[in-house]
């Protein structure tokens, strides 16, 4: 391929890739900014990481005998 064709393809790839990259980064930042505040908090030391998260094992009552 000639130098001009290679240059054209490189510019075309950049023109397509850069807006997609901006959209993906923007969507990720939007999701982080609009996620519930609980997801931004780290679990306190000494507590299990699932504290406050409802679980079937915790809410369904005793397990039946198998």
Residue range 40-65: mean pLDDT, rounded: 57
56 pLDDT more than 70:
no
Residue range 18-38: mean pLDDT, rounded: 87
Cα distance between residue 5 and residue 37, in whole Å = 50
């Amino acid at each position: 391929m000639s130098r001009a064709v290679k240059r054209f393809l490189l510019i075309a790839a950049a023109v397509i890739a850069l807006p997609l990259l901006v959209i993906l980064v923007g969507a990720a930042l939007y999701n982080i900014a609009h996620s519930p505040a609980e997801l931004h908090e780290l679990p306190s030391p000494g507590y299990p990481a699932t504290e406050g998260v409802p679980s079937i094992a915790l809410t369904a009552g005793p397990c039946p005998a198998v």
